[in-house]
Amino acid sequence: MTQSNPNISASQPIIRQLDETAINRIAAGEVVERPASAVKELVENAIDAGATRITVEYADGGKTLIRVTDDGCGIAGADLPLALSRHATSKIDGSDLLNIHSFGFRGEALPSLGAVGRLTITSRAIGCDGAEISVTGGKHAAVKPAGLSAGTVVTLRDLFYATPARLKFLRTDRAEAQAIGDVIKRLAMAEPFVRFVLRDVSGDGAGRDVFRAEAEQGDLFEALHGRLRQVLGREFAENSLAIDAERDGFHLTGFAALPTYSRGSAVAQYLFVNGRPVKDKMLIGALRGAYFDFLSRDRHPAAALFVDCDPNLVDVNVHPAKSEVRFRDPAIVRGLIVSGLRHALANAGHRASSTVADATLGAMRPEGQGEARVYQMDRPSTGARFTAHQAQAPQGFAETQGVWGRVETPREEVQEERTNYPLGTARGQVHENYIIAQTATGMVIVDQHAAHERLVYEKLKKQMAENGVPSQALLIPEIIELSSSERAAILEVAEELSKFGLGIEPFGGNAIAVRETPAILGEVNAEAMIRDILDELEGEGESLLVQARIEAILSRVACHGSIRSGRWMRGEEMNALLREMEATPHSGQCNHGRPTYVELKLSDIERLFGRT
C-alpha cells in the first residue's frame, strides 16, 4: 500500500518558482552546516580581502554570536546591498571556473548567512566613508553611515533563528566551539603571514583568547615551521621533516612527522591544495601509503602538506563547502606525495622522535629530596674522572666486568668515539637485550632485537625491490565472476598488482582469470584476495593489500632472522650494530613504528639527580 505525498496535490502537480528567501535558506543548508561553517566562510572572505590581522569572536559555541574583524580592503557602501545578493562576487568574472586563485568564488556565503540569521556588515573601503547594512531572515535594511577606520566587521547573531529545526541538529556549545577552533587553526596554517586571534566572549565578561597566532617572518619554510609550532605544538615542530618536491607541474611542501611521532587517530593530518584546506580521500590515502611500511595499522602519521599547482589542473568547484577537490591527473599527485615523503623519511636515517626520550624521563621517578639540597661540584674533565674511577674501583671489580658485558676502550679513544658516532660507543649490555652506549652529549639505550629486526627487514625489502617479487603460476587459472564495475576497477590496477606477483587478466564477460599469485604467500584463496582488494579500492581509493601481506611475511622473516632477546653480545658486535643502524634509513623505529632506541641527554640525566 502506497501513501500519497502530502506536499503534492492529487491533481496535476503545479511547477512553482520559489521565492528568494526560500532559495537562500535552501542554499544555506548546503553552505552553512554549523557555526564553524559560517566562521570558515567569513574568515576566507577576510583573507581574500588581503587582511593581515583577523580576529574571530564567538559566544555559546557560535550559536548566538559570531564576529569577524579584519583589516582588509573593505567594501564600499554602495556595494553592500550587492554583496548580499546571491552569486555576486568580486573573486571571478564567470568566464573561467577553473582559473580560481581565491578561497571564495561562488557568492553564496553572505546571502546564505543573512537568510538564516541576523547579519550586520560594517565596512570601510580605501577612499570611502564607513557604511553598515543589516539583513534579518533575508530581509535587507537600508545602508547607513558607520564609524570604522578600515577593514570590515561582520557580525552574525542568532544563527538558524529563521530555521529553528536546524538548531536541533547542532551539538553542544563545547563541541561547536572546538569545531570553530579547528577551522581557524587550519586557515592559520595556510596563511602563516597573517595574525589570527580567536576569542570566546560567552557570558557577560570580557572574554578570553582561545587561540592566538602572531604573523610569522622570514621565507615560506621558516614562516610555516614557526606557524606549525604555534598551532600543532613544539613537539611536532621538533619531530617533523621538511618536505619539498616537484613533479609535472605540482609542488609539494610542508612538514611530516617521524614515524615514532605517530597518533592513535588521524586528527593530526592537515592537507591543503593551493592554500585551501581540504579533506580529500585520495590525498589521505597517499599519506597513509607513504607511511605504510613504518606504522602499524592502528597508528596514524602526523603531517601538514601543501600541494600547489596551476588552478587549471584541479577543480575546486565540486562541493558547496569547497572541502573537496578533483585533480585532472590524481596519479601524479599521489605519486608525488608518496615519493616525496618516503625520500624525506629515508634522509632522516636512524633519527627517532624526541618524545621517546621525554616519555622515558617521565617514567623515571627520582626519590624525594630532603629539605636542604646538597651542593654539587662542577662535572670534572674526562681525564680526572678516569683517574678517580681507577682509584675508587673496589677490589675484584675488573674480574666482574664481563658479567654484564662491559666494553673496555682505551682512554685516548673515548673522546674521539663519542664525537664521531651519532649513536655513540657501546659501554655495556643489560638484561641481555639492551645495549648501553655513550655519546658526546649523553647516552643511548638500544633494543638490540627491535633494531636488528629493522635492519634485516630493510635488507629483505631492498633485495625484493632489486629482484622483484617471484610469482607462482597456477596450474589451473582461477576464474572469478565479478560485476562490470568490479571488473573494471580490478583491471585498472592489474599492472600495479603484477609488480607484487599477482597476475590477472580479463577472461570474458565480467570474469577475470587469476594466473599467478605471489610465491612468498604460499597457497592462497585467490578469490578471497581479489574480493578484499576490491573492498579496499572502494573504501580507500587504492589497495595495499598484496603489498601488506608480502611485507608482513618479510617482517616475520626478519623477526626470526634477527638477534634474539636474551643473547649476550660482545663489544664489537654491539658497536657493529650501532654503526649499521646509523647507515640504514628508518632504523629509528621497528617494523611496527615503535622506537628502536632512546637517547637521553646528559643534562636530562643530571636533572633527574638534582644536579642542575
- Mean of per-residue pLDDT scores for the chain: 80
The set of cell numbers assigned to 151 is 577593514
**Statement to judge: residues 283 and 336 lie in one domain:** yes
Question: What pLDDT does residue 374 have?
Answer: 45
CATH number at residue 246: 3.30.230.10
Inside any domain, residue 115: yes
Closest by CA to 551, choosing from 278, 297, 236, 306, is 297
pLDDT at 321: 64
To which H or E segment does residue 70 belong? Answer: strand 65-70
Q: How far apart are CA 507 and CA 260, in angstroms?
A: 45
Asked, for residue 367, whether it belongs to a domain, the answer is no
Residue 446, pLDDT above cutoff 80: yes
For residue 199, what are the domain limits? Answer: 20-213
Q: Are residues 557 and 452 part of one domain?
A: yes
The torsion angles phi and psi of 68, rounded to 5 degrees, stand at -120, 120
Residue 579 corresponds to which cell in the numbers above? 654503526
End-to-end CA distance of the chain: 83
- Tell me the three state secondary structure of residue 161: coil
* Same domain as 453, residue 575: yes
- Residue 1 belongs to a domain: no
Asked whether 176 and 63 are in contact (CB, 8 A), the reply is yes
Helix (H) or strand (E) holding 513: strand 511-518
- pLDDT the model gives residue 253: 95
Residue range 245-290, pLDDT digits in tens: 999 999 999 999 988 888 888 889 999 999 889 988 889 888 988 8
| 112 confidence band (pLDDT: 50, 70, 90) | confident
pLDDT reading at 224 higher than 90: yes
Each as own residue / partner, the long-range contacts of residues 134-141 (CB below 8 Å, 24 or more positions apart, any chain) are 135/84, 137/21, 137/161, 137/162, 138/20, 138/21, 138/24, 138/25, 138/111, 138/114, 138/162, 140/81, 140/84, 140/114
- Last residue of a domain, which of 164, 184, 213? 213
More confident residue, 4 or 54: 54
Q: What is the pLDDT of residue 209?
A: 93
Residue 395 domain flag:
no
Cα 286 to the center of its chain, rounded Å: 11
Lowest mean pLDDT segment, chosen from 231-245, 465-479, 526-540: 526-540
Q: What nine digits make up the cell of 346?
A: 629515508
Please name the residues in contact with 160: beta carbons below 8 A apart, sequence gap of 6 or more: 63, 116, 117, 166, 167, 170
**44/228 Cα distance (integer angstroms):** 19
Q: Where are the beta strands (DSSP E) in 107-260?
A: 118-124, 131-136, 139-140, 144-145, 151-157, 195-200, 208-213, 240-247, 250-257
Clarify whether residues 163 and 256 are in a common domain.
no
- The count of C-alpha atoms lying within 13 angstroms of the C-alpha of 311, restricted to the half-sphere facing its C-beta, is 13
Reduced to 3 states (helix: H, G, I; strand: E, B; else coil), residue 610 is coil
94-103, 288-297, 417-426, 429-438 — which is least confidently predicted? 94-103
Q: What is the pLDDT of residues 319-355, one digit of tens each?
A: 666 677 888 888 899 889 989 998 888 887 766 666 6
Distance CA 31, CA 109 (A): 7
Residue 198, strand partner residues: 56, 211
Helices (H) and strands (E) in the chain, counts: 21, 23
Of the three residues 332, 348, 364, the one that is the final residue of a domain is: 348
pLDDT tens string 170-218: 899 999 999 999 999 999 999 999 999 999 999 877 789 999 999 999 8
On whether the pTM is more than 0.75, the answer is: no
205 and 225 assigned to the same domain: no
- Using alpha carbons, select from 67, 76, 69, 65 the residue that is nearest to residue 51: 69
In a domain, 38, yes or no: yes
CATH of the domain at 423: 3.30.1370.100
| Out of 340-354, 377-391, 470-484, 550-564, least confident range | 377-391
pLDDT for 596: 87
Q: Are residues 185 and 300 in the same domain?
A: no
Query: CB burial class (10 A; 0-12, 13-18, 19+) of residue 466?
Result: exposed
3-class secondary-structure state, position 397:
helix
Return d(Cα 215, Cα 180) in angstroms, integer.
Answer: 20
The domain boundary residue, chosen from 213, 234, 249 = 213
297 falls within a domain? yes
- What whole-number distance in Å separates Cα of residue 272 and Cα of residue 283? 9
Same domain, 167 and 74: yes
Residue 105's pLDDT is 59
pLDDT value at residue 354: 64
Between CA 551 and CA 457 the distance in angstroms is 9
413 compared with 490, residue with greater pLDDT: 490
Ramachandran bin of 29, using left for φ above 0, alpha for ψ from -120 to 50, beta for the remaining angles: alpha
Position 589, amino acid = Q
pLDDT at res. 541: 60
372 found inside a domain: no
Cell of 218: 622570514
Q: How many domains does one find in the chain?
A: 3
pLDDT tier at 373, thresholds 50, 70, 90: very low
75 pLDDT above the threshold of 70:
yes
Write down the pLDDT at residue 377. Answer: 46
Query: 166 and 240 share a domain?
Result: no
* Per-residue pLDDT tens digits for 395-407: 443 443 444 444 5
CA–CA dist 477, 97 (Å, integer): 50
| Cβ contact 120:155 at 8 Å | yes
Residues 113-166: tens digit of each pLDDT: 888 889 999 999 988 999 999 998 878 899 999 989 899 999 999 998 888 878
Model confidence pLDDT, tens digit, residues 510-565: 899 999 888 877 787 888 888 888 887 776 666 666 666 666 666 666 776 677 77
**Cα(543)–Cα(363) distance, integer angstroms:** 40
Position 74: which residue type? G
Does residue 376 form part of some domain? no
295: CB partners within 8 A, 6+ apart: 259, 262, 301, 592, 593
Judgement on whether residues 41 and 63 belong to the same structural domain of the protein: yes
CA–CA distance from 552 to each of 146, 454, 549, 556 (Å)?
68, 13, 5, 6
- 280 and 160 in a common domain: no
User: What integer pLDDT is reported at residue 401 of this predicted model?
Assistant: 44
CATH classification of the domain holding 86: 3.30.565.10
Do 482 and 340 fall into the same domain? no
Strands 326-327 and 314-315: antiparallel
Tell whether 185 and 78 lie within a shared domain: yes
